[in-house]
Amino acid sequence: MASAAERRELLKAVYQEARGCVACALHETRTSVVFGAGNADAELMFVGEAPGANEDLQGLPFVGQAGRLLEQLLAEIGMQRDDVFIANTLKCRPPGNRDPHPHELEACRRYLDRQLELIEPTVVCTLGNFATKLLRGEPTGISRIHGQAEVRTIGPRTVRLYPLYHPAAALYTPSTLAMLREDFSRIPEILALGQPATEVSPVQPPGPVAEPVDDPAATVEQDQLGLF
């Protein structure tokens, strides 16, 4: 089993692969790859949909209003951004912030699976419809299953999957914010249950993906990968 230091180095290598990825057309319009950021040994991981304009420019996930709300909700349960790892189903911004296309989700899935494998979270909170449907492997929408934790095998990792409304959906809708806040308040008790031992409901692995282009000159910048 790899040590924490070894897993960090492997995670950096996956980041380098993602930086050179041309598996879908999104590489043609991206400013930067938004790989994810946070604690490489986090027990709690959040998975959103895709980078927006601010994220694309800065190379970091959840840096706009939705990110500030996420940080506020974390503070309310005694946590901060440095305690968790935050990623998206897509590592590149779809033009105009359109919805992800199925082939884009498939092409990017390898990176998310490797993040799950190397970070080894106990609880994975999916934020919104796309992340929830992708990681559950089912079409049930977030409005029906938010706040309902379940044990799921996602790629290489068995976790407690906990679907939540996306913070962006709660910014201007008080009722959604109230539901998100209530669901968020249960995260500590779900974390306290620990790592699930039983592997159930595996999600089918993605199909083959084109190999990323190597970039020997690229260097990992601490502020972009954001590992703690």
Decide if 202 is inside a domain.
yes
pTM score, whole prediction: 0.87
Contacts of 123 (CB under 8 A, 6+ apart): 43, 44, 45, 149, 159, 160, 161, 162, 187, 190, 191
Question: Within a domain: residue 93?
Answer: yes
Per residue in 194-210, is it b (16+ CB within 10 Å) or e — as a string?
eebeeeeeebeebeeee
Q: Domain count for the chain, please give it.
A: 1
The pLDDT tens digits for 15-34 are 999 999 999 999 999 999 99
pLDDT in tens, 31-43: 999 999 999 999 9
Closest CA to 209 of 131, 109, 113, 99: 109
Residues of the chain with confidence (pLDDT) below 50: 200-223, 228
Residue 3: predicted pLDDT: 85
**pLDDT, mean over the chain:** 89
- Cβ pair 128, 165 in contact under 8 A: yes
Query: On the CB side of 45, how many CA atoms lie within 13 Å of its CA?
Result: 30
Domain-embedded: residue 227: no
- Tell me if 40 is assigned to some domain: yes
pLDDT at 222: 46
Domain for residue 222, yes or no? no
CATH code: domain of residue 39: 3.40.470.10
Residue 2 pLDDT:
78
Give the list of residues 6+ apart from residue 90 with CB closer than 8 angstroms, or none: 26, 49, 50, 51, 100, 104, 105, 108
**37 within some domain:** yes
The tens digit of pLDDT for each residue in 183-219 reads 999 999 999 999 998 554 444 444 333 333 333 333 3
| Residue (of 107, 64, 70) closest to 86 by Cα position | 70
pLDDT (0 to 100) of residue 213: 36
What's the alpha-carbon Rg for the chain, to the nearest Å?
Answer: 16
Q: Which two tokens stand for residue 4?
A: 């924490």
Question: Does some domain include residue 212?
Answer: no
Range of the structural domain that residue 166 is part of: 4-206
